[in-house]
Amino acid sequence: MPKQNNNNFFMGIIILLLIVIAVWAFYYGKNMGNNNGGSNTQNNTGTVTTGETPKVTIISDKRCGAKCDTTELMGKLKEIPSLATAEITQMDYSDDAAKKVLKSAGINTLPAAIFSNNSVSELANFLKATTDFKYSLELGSTYDPTVKRSDKGFIVLDKKILEEIKKDSYVKGNKDAAITWIEYSDLECPYCAKLHNSGTPEELTKKYGDKLNQVFQSFPLGFHKNALPGAEAIECLGKQKGGKAYYSLIKTSFKEENSKLSFLIDEAVKLGADKASLETCIENKTFSAKINKQQQAGTKEFGVTGTPGNVLINNATGEYEVISGAYPTASFEEIIDRLLK
């Protein structure tokens, strides 16, 4: 699975903390009375060190919205026995002091949890040394607070770039919609299939109607052997039968969780494609340049490195936000509703 498709890594850390707490409670119960005070920590190299209870600084950005909410994280940290009395400070990026802390630590994304030392044994393997000799808890954070944003907290895309992306793509739905959902995906991606099979595309279409359109962009991952041939197959089908068939094959592939080329060709034929022409198109890699261009644009313009990389864009203002992973419908709705205000 790709980096940013460590899907909901932020929430995963919270779940991990719950497990750590349970294990610690068991261990502590068995070894109570053997502890003479202090914190014994095993760092990433296996060396046991001793240190004081760390001070913890949690930094977020109110512009980031719900996905950067650190309330639950702070609560779970407090439940770890060795952090029960720790000094935990919360800061917002709007505070100049928070900017200085992040700059000193060399941290560029939020939310961030910075520890003054790595003496918490339960978290030692998840703490990364910072440039100022402190430690950052790895949260899979992706929000860059330094990027120029609108008053609503969204990054703004040059409309010419959006027009260029759409120009050579199949737009599903009202071409004049207020919001465009660009999905960077590949047919072999299990999380992409999960997103589609969850009913999210249908639920969003039902709720927003002509206010929302969709644009699928191929983003074939190197370790998915069917991804690139699959991208060629849907493009070759689109060339023959148009956008409706293109999206129909994508839907079928995800529904059946089958991205094998033989399956895609058979399904394309059912949609009216000429098999011989389709196979020739795929073998000749007719659309390799187009597919490569789509993938490069996803990374360059939106920072996409894995699938599904979902970009929600206000077509009038260029404001956008990226959702990396198979998030539930409600996560999409929260962003779309803010974009529409």
- pLDDT tens for residues 121-165? 889 889 999 999 999 998 878 788 888 888 888 999 999 999 999
Strand order in the sheet with 56-60: 88-92, 56-60, 112-115, 135-137, 127-129
Q: What is the pLDDT of residues 161-213, one digit of tens each?
A: 999 999 999 999 999 999 999 999 999 999 999 999 999 999 999 999 999 99
In order of their start, the domains of the chain are 9-26+48-137 (3.40.30), 155-340 (3.40.30.10)
Q: Are 237 and 193 in contact (CB under 8 A)?
A: no
Q: What is the pLDDT of residues 49-91, one digit of tens each?
A: 446 899 999 999 988 877 788 999 989 999 999 898 999 999 9
Instruction: Report the distance separating Cα 71 and Cα 73, nearest Å.
Output: 5
Instruction: Report the distance separating Cα 138 and Cα 28, nearest Å.
Output: 25
Instruction: Report the distance separating Cα 40 and Cα 50, nearest Å.
Output: 5
pTM here? 0.68
Instruction: Identify any residues that bridge with 215 across adjacent strands, giving them in sequence order.
Output: 171, 182
Instruction: Report the distance separating Cα 111 and Cα 140, nearest Å.
Output: 9
